[in-house]
Amino acid sequence: MKKLKRYQYERYAILCREAYPADFDHTQYGFETEGRRDITDRWGRTIIRVLWGQKNEVIVVFKGSQNLWDWLLNFACFPKKMISGKRPYHVHWGYHYLLQQSSKVDSNPYEQLRPSMSTSQEADFLQATDARHFQAESLYQQIRNTLAPLIQQGKRVSLTGHSSGGAMAVLTAERLGLEFPDAIKRIVTFGQPAAGFWSFKQAYSYQHCTYRICCDLDIVTFLPAIPLLYWHVGKMLWLHNEKIYDNISTPNRLYKSLVSWLLRPITYHYMHKYIRNKDYFDKH
């Protein structure tokens, strides 16, 4: 597995952060003016952004939980059976549901234009756009249909997401890879809960290019809290006390976090803590 470079980490982290505000100028991050598609959830909120530019990469950014309903889906952790080729596996039902939901009906151009159409115009529009199926098109299908022509142009796909968005990124990568096996470049997630059972971990095709970033004692990264049932995929990079730990075990991670918490009043006295905050004086 190749190392995740600092500039790559910062790029994905910034895009995940910028996924939450309603206003987002994608061009300042090197993407083309027309190189963007926002995909909305059942309430009409942007939940996924597909971004591309002149470079040979298209980035799919998944937003994490935004309201109480989203958070409750984290606890809908009963299994959903899927098939990867001939091999069945089980994933988290709630995160699978997020990808299977349809966008808000108001975003359907057919529904918007229908009141002003004559019968013949309506028939012509349906024949030209197949808009009858727009409402039933899932978020995953919208992602797939957006990426397909870009992949045909030679672009490769990177997926990134925060929280439940990270789980969606992992599930999307595995499913997309069945149709476009050479199109996936990397998957980078932040604060991601586990997306599937052991069977999913065994079936997952992108262990070598998936990076799961965890920060200190982020409780969401331990969810679902069902030991030996849900398993993470890819390589974990744990950010703790200004160090990066690769694939550290859960007991060791909990132990280091507890020790750090107990010793925190003492470690605040270390000189490197003062040096780390040197940038404050630029604003003084």
Burial class (CB within 10 angstroms; exposed 0-12, middle 13-18, buried 19+) of 175:
middle
What's the distance, CA 159 to chain centroid?
Answer: 6
Q: Say yes or no to pLDDT of 99 above 80.
A: yes
Q: Hey, what are 61's tokens?
A: 């950014």
Give the residue from 142, 42, 44, 48 showing the smallest Cα distance to 97. 42
CA gap 234, 220 in Å, rounded: 17
Q: Say yes or no to pLDDT of 132 above 50.
A: no
Burial class (CB within 10 angstroms; exposed 0-12, middle 13-18, buried 19+) of 12:
buried
Look at residue 108 and give its three-state secondary structure.
Answer: coil
CA gap 163, 199 in Å, rounded: 22
Q: Beta-carbon neighbour count of residue 6 at 10 Å?
A: 8
Backbone angles phi, psi at 190, to 5 degrees: -130, 125
The separation between the first and the last C-alpha atoms of the chain, rounded to the nearest angstrom, is 43
CB-CB contact of 221 with 214 (8 Å): yes
Q: Which residues contact 272 (CB under 8 A, 6 or more apart)?
A: 242
pLDDT one-digit tens code per residue, 247-284: 888 888 888 888 887 877 776 666 566 666 555 555 54
Residue-range domains of the chain with CATH: 6-102+137-250 (3.40.50.1820)
Q: What pLDDT sits at residue 283?
A: 53
Mean pLDDT of 2-13: 89
CA gap 14, 181 in Å, rounded: 27
pLDDT one-digit tens code per residue, 68-89: 877 888 888 889 998 866 688 9
**Helix/strand number for the chain, H first, E second:** 10, 12
Alpha carbon separation from 132 to 105, 138, 143 (Å, rounded): 11, 13, 18
Measured over the CA atoms of residue 28, residue 29, residue 33 and residue 37, the dihedral's sign is negative
Backbone angles phi, psi at 225, to 5 degrees: -80, 60
Q: How large a percentage of the chain has pLDDT more than 90?
A: 49
Q: What pLDDT sits at residue 252?
A: 87
